[in-house]
């Protein structure tokens, strides 16, 4: 059974910048809402959305719910569409790199991960080895994703631990 993954703009952009976008494909079937596609294309002049990422339209009732979150300033429009799509499709994972979006989505019952979590999952699932994971981690650190020194050190330690198993 394939995992259904809905992604907002952050992980799509950060993993692209890090040269690790293919890790998304390993996670399962990847879907994004139309606004995330627009945001990605606006933010990334060099990258294109991979062909294996499906853009999924939102129906009217879903657009109304998303509008409420935007009007209530819960999340920005692209994030709201991604959350709405994840709920509507009952996705297995929602991917976002925004901590506030993560908390909001978790209150709605979604399982949420970010770019770093996806990288660590790929190591744990033996899709990539420690050396490659460290390269991607360094790529994420050089990307537009902000990662604290503490989190970088913890991620390196986790990569080392997972690579030993």
Q: What percent of the chain has pLDDT over 70?
A: 99
* Torsion 34-40-41-47 (CA) sign: negative
pLDDT of residue 109: 95
Do 103 and 158 reside in the same domain of the chain? no
Residue 116: pLDDT band with limits 50, 70, 90:
very high
| Residue that wins the pLDDT comparison between 126 and 64 | 126
Q: DSSP letter for 49, please.
A: -
What is the value of pTM for the model shown? 0.91
- Number of structural domains (the chain) is 2
Query: What whole-number distance in Å separates Cα of residue 86 and Cα of residue 64?
Result: 15
Q: What is the mean pLDDT of residues 47-54?
A: 92
Which helix (DSSP H) or strand (DSSP E) does residue 36 occupy? helix 34-43
Do 109 and 139 reside in the same domain of the chain? no
Question: How high does pLDDT run on average in the chain?
Answer: 92
pLDDT at 1 over 70: no
pLDDT of residue 115: 97
Closest to 136 (Cα-Cα) out of 11, 10, 21? 21
pLDDT at 74 over 80: no
Do 57 and 106 reside in the same domain of the chain? yes
Of 9-13, 56-60, 106-110, the one with minimum mean pLDDT is: 56-60
Query: What whole-number distance in Å separates Cα of residue 147 and Cα of residue 145?
Result: 6
DSSP string, 97-110: --HHHHHHHHHTT-
Strands (E) located in 77-148: 93-95, 112-113
Do 121 and 92 reside in the same domain of the chain? no
Which domain range does residue 122 map to?
Answer: 116-164
Do 86 and 132 reside in the same domain of the chain? no
- Cβ-count burial of 16 within 10 angstroms (0-12 exposed, 13-18 middle, 19+ buried)? buried
pLDDT at 45 over 80: no
Query: What whole-number distance in Å separates Cα of residue 140 and Cα of residue 119?
Result: 10
Do 155 and 106 reside in the same domain of the chain? no
pLDDT at 164 over 90: no
């Amino acid at each position: 059974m394939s995992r259904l993954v809905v992604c907002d703009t952050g992980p799509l952009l950060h993993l692209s910048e890090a040269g690790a976008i293919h890790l998304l494909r390993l996670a399962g079937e990847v879907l994004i809402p139309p606004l995330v596609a627009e945001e990605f294309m606006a933010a990334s002049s060099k990258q294109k959305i991979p062909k294996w990422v499906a853009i999924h339209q939102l129906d009217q009732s879903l657009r109304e719910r998303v509008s409420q979150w935007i009007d209530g300033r819960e999340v920005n429009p692209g994030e709201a569409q991604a959350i709405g799509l994840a709920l509507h499709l009952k996705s297995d994972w929602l991917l976002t790199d925004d901590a506030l979006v993560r908390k909001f989505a978790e209150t709605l019952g979604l399982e949420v991960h970010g770019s770093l979590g996806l990288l660590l999952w790929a190591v744990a699932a033996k899709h990539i080895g420690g050396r490659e994971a460290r390269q991607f981690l360094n790529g994420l650190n050089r990307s537009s994703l902000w990662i604290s020194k503490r989190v970088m050190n913890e991620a390196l330690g986790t990569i080392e631990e997972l690579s030993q198993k």
